[in-house]
Amino acid sequence: MTAEEVRQRAIAKIQKLYDEAQAQSSDRYWQNGPYNVKRWVARGFGAALAELKVEPDWEETAEHYVTRVSQKVRGWRGNGPDEDDESWFDSAIDEAAIAISVAARD
């Protein structure tokens, strides 16, 4: 599998997670006082999608691409809203990094 194929698989997985979080963010169940935790989750997945916009380097292996991008995604940890005391944003970042890492194995 090429790095570009892995990239496309990772984008598809994370886009699905993003879309689900966006849909859930309109459900009042996820409202926590004045905050909407699923909106924070969607932001985390959105950050991962932004990192996946970077195409693989020429002749970059799928394994190297996955490692490089998942590390960049993990770099987003701790950049969620200050009000996110339950780490919804960071959890989404972790889930996205794992999804990217396993995209090469699927």
Taking phi over 0 as left and psi of -120 to 50 as alpha, with beta for the rest, 58 belongs to beta
What would the pLDDT profile of 82-92 be if each residue is shown by its tens digit? 998 889 999 99
Residue type, 13: K
What would the pLDDT profile of 20-68 be if each residue is shown by its tens digit? 999 999 888 887 777 889 999 999 999 999 999 999 998 999 999 999 9
The whole model's pTM is what?
Answer: 0.92
Long-range contacts of 88-94 (CB under 8 A, 24+ apart): 88/37, 88/38, 88/40, 88/41, 88/44, 89/40, 89/41, 89/43, 89/44, 90/44, 91/41, 91/44, 92/17, 92/21, 92/40, 92/41, 92/42, 92/43, 92/44, 92/45, 92/48, 93/44, 93/47, 93/48
Domain residue ranges of the chain, discontinuous segments joined by +: 3-103
40 contacts 89 by C-beta, under 8 angstroms: yes
